[in-house]
Amino acid sequence: MSSSPQPTSHPPVDIDYAGLFAATPSPYLILTPDFVICDVNAAYLRATRRTREDLVGRNVFDAFPDNPDDPSADGVRNLRASLERALATGRADSMAIQKYDIPVTDEAGRTRFEERFWSPVNAPVLDRRGKPILLIHRVEDVTSFVRVMAAREEATAEPPLGDEPLQAELFVRGLELQAVNQRLREAHAHEHQVALELQKAMLPSVAGDLAHGRTAVRYRPAVGSMNVCGDWYDVSDLGDERFGVAVGDVVGHGFVAAGVMGQLRAALAAATRATGRADRALEVLDAYAGSFDSAVGTTVVKVVVDLRERTLSYSVAGHPPPVLVRASGALELLDEATGPPLAAMSEPTARPLARTAFEPGDVLALYTDGLVERRRESIADGIDRLAASVRRHAGLGIEDAADAVLADLSTAEASTDDIALLLVTS
């Protein structure tokens, strides 16, 4: 016979109730049974713009009298009646929305009354015999809510919806959620900016005399995104009139993707210099990527440009194929040496290698999927659009051509993903 699961025991927690009371976001007063304020939390002080010295030890109605300039003011009477009901019944008493103006003092020391509307709840604290020994007065400032409802009623000539305390409570909770969301947006925006700066710091500028003037790189982060993606590029001089170019895309977002991107880019650049070959470099990178989970599924294309032999040698790991636009206008996709993304296989495998001619006037385009992918169309359509743009602007200088191609393919839809573009001319 199996025994029923036993409840999990937890060590006792020493709760700091004074700290809890001070930190709670709703405004609270603690009153004696004769309505003297004996404690107040920070939220109440903020809501009323008062200090502890102003309030503690004073009768609540001396601290907050009725507005003498408002003959219809009944805040004191209504609050007193509610507090007395809570004392008499031993139960919490929820009040309807109250107009209860509060005294505020300006910088010149003059006191005036400020119009305020509140949603109060009063609850007794009972001793072991059931006798009230304290009163908890919780209040929410619903002035904005009342003004919005009044404006709505005036504009539509519709009566209030009823159940005002519930509406006011929902309104206050909505304001609290709005404030929390704003703090989250600010935190995410800060993380986005830090990750973006990290990513920019790890993306190289075009280095080496050989690649300079023959390559142009463009990187554009997603617009309005809270996450930096893992798109990256690399340009490195290999000597003997050869240089390497690469573009990759790490799975994931934010700091993790930016960190993985930096590691893989540096590793690929080192592997290319050590091996001198696109396929061997990807094999080394494949083994390296398998050593940490965050790199699994990364796509990358590596091309070695040989200006002396006028050739391109390349290998592709799950990435969209480079586009080669001939000086004649003919289009060639470099898709004859394609393998799976990095670390996608249980064991590292040999990477394919292909070569093609690279004649004067030819332009090579490497890119990430953000440049060519669109909803409701195939990626082939996007690649055709890229090829047409490169063909149209091939006669420009390499930097101007990169700007023109990016402008052609950048749309509102494209801006939802990071974009990396690398152009090479012979």
Top-confidence residue, 23 or 184: 23
* pLDDT tier at 261, thresholds 50, 70, 90: confident
Least confident span in 64-68, 116-120, 358-362, 374-378: 374-378
* Dist. CA 260–CA 298, nearest whole Å: 10
Q: Answer yes or no: is pLDDT of 161 > 50.
A: no
Closest Cα to residue 279, out of 350, 333, 358? 350
Kindly tell me if the per-residue pLDDT of 221 is higher than 80. Answer: no
CATH architecture of 203-425: 4-Layer Sandwich (3.60)
Q: Exposure string (b/e) for 315-344, b if CB count within 10 Å is 16 or more?
A: bbbbbbbbbbbbeeeebbebeebbbebbbb
Domain ranges in the chain are 17-183, 203-425
- The confidence score (pLDDT) of residue 42 equals 94
CA distance 210 to 12: 69
pLDDT, tens only, 196-205 = 555 555 555 5
pLDDT recorded at residue 97:
80
Number of other CB atoms surrounding residue 77 within 10 Å: 11
pLDDT at res. 87 = 94
174: closest CA among 134, 209, 203, 145? 145
Measured CA to CA, the distance from residue 83 to residue 98 in angstroms comes to 14
- What six digits make up the tokens of 334? 């470099």
Using N-to-C axis directions, what is the helix angle for 143-156 and 164-202, rounded to 10°?
110
**pLDDT category, 156, cuts 50, 70, 90?**
low
Q: Which range among 136-150, 156-170, 341-355 shows the weakest confidence by mean pLDDT?
A: 156-170
CA 380 vs CA 199, 359, 423: distances in Å: 29, 25, 19
Q: Which residue has the higher pLDDT, 156 or 199?
A: 156
Q: Is the pLDDT of residue 152 over 80?
A: no
What pLDDT score was predicted for residue 226? 45
Query: What type of residue is 300?
Result: V
> Using CA atoms in the order 114, 115, 120, 124, what is the torsion angle rounded to 10 degrees?
40
Give dist(CA 238, CA 280) in Å, integer: 14
The CA distance from 153 to 150, in Å, is 5
**Greatest alpha-carbon span in the chain:** 99
Whether residue 207 is predicted with pLDDT greater than 80 in this model: the reply is: no
Q: What pLDDT was estimated at residue 223?
A: 58
Instruction: Give the architecture (CATH level 2) of 17-183.
Output: 2-Layer Sandwich (3.30)
